[in-house]
Amino acid sequence: MFTGSITALITPFKNGDIDWKTFDQFVEWQVAEGSSGVVPCGTTGESPTLSHDEHKKIVERCVQIVAQRIPVIAGTGSNSTAEALDFTHQAKSAGADAALVVTPYYNKPTQEGLFAHFKTLAQSVNIPIIIYNIPGRSVVDMSVDTMCRLAEIKNIVGVKDATADLARPLVLRERLGNGFCQLSGEDATATAFLAQGGHGCISVTSNIAPRLCADMHSAWQKGDLGTMSRIRDQLSCLHRALFCETSPAPVKYAASRLGFGTDDVRLPLVPASASARAQMDQAMGKVGLAMSRSQAA
């Protein structure tokens, strides 16, 4: 079971290439700050604009740096089943603990197509698979019925739910029990998701506030609702700022403010606008992130 604050890692770039030195430092910082896991090559890692070679090297490098201290859940999804299969095989051979597989985007498969896609991956690669359901980016929404069918396959172990539908975790828990791992994909509603039966969050915010995010989830697990609520409220301004423009442009700017490389993104994304930067600066100042990072350095 994957629980707690799991960071959807950014991919640092410099002059168009991956900034490996910054990547190494960033992953090490995530472990040191108490993150419960990391996800390389997800949406926040700009997986759509990584070459296949870059994608595989990032997963390998992440596994090496983490060195089994926390779980590595590799993003391996694609709108091509054959491509997703290749990425998933590679994640398994690299030593990843699980694969995060997005619902195929653009080609808009039916529910039966979604079932066949995930069944093929699960039966071909013996690695725990987490379904990534994000209709806002993939344009398809996996139904609860389809997810329950897939949950009958042993190594399909959970879902990253980015629908922001807070009724779903209750429905899934009712039908599948507490053993099916439910991870929020929405930072702003992560604590509500936990209260509705969730187990953790694959987070964008934890890229820049890993300790706070980790402490919030730890407080929930301990039943310390006062601390959880205080940190939830403290982070709310960050959640809003990080999604004021298309992610990961704002979070890469924020990471650069903390000393982690540049804010470069790959086209068709562009760096955060002046307005977005101002919002990020204000939110980071309110939370005290820039000060805490400089003191830690």
Within-domain flag for 130: yes
Is residue 27 within 8 A of residue 74, CB to CB? The reply is no
Within-domain flag for 283: no
Within-domain flag for 237: no
Q: Is the pLDDT of residue 72 over 50?
A: yes
Mean pLDDT confidence for 185-190: 97
Within-domain flag for 240: no
Within-domain flag for 281: no
Q: Is the pLDDT of residue 83 over 90?
A: yes
Count: domains in the chain: 1
Q: Which range marks the domain in which residue 149 is found?
A: 4-229
pLDDT at 297: 44
CATH number at residue 69: 3.20.20.70
Q: Which residues are catalytic?
A: 132, 160
pLDDT at 1: 86
pLDDT at 290: 72
| pLDDT tens track for 240-283 | 999 999 999 999 999 999 999 999 999 999 999 999 999 999 99
Q: Where are the alpha helices (DSSP H) in the chain?
A: 20-32, 52-66, 81-94, 111-124, 135-138, 144-151, 168-176, 190-195, 210-222, 225-242, 249-257, 274-287, 289-296
Within-domain flag for 152: yes
| pLDDT tens track for 134-162 | 999 999 999 999 999 999 999 999 999 99
Within-domain flag for 136: yes
Within-domain flag for 63: yes
pLDDT at 293: 55
| pLDDT tens track for 13-29 | 999 999 999 999 999 99
Q: Is the pLDDT of residue 93 over 50?
A: yes
Res. 192 pLDDT band, cuts 50 70 90:
very high
Q: Is the pLDDT of residue 296 over 90?
A: no
Q: pTM for this one?
A: 0.96
Question: How would DSSP label each residue in 233-266?
Answer: HHHHHHHHHHTSSSTTHHHHHHHHHTTSS-----
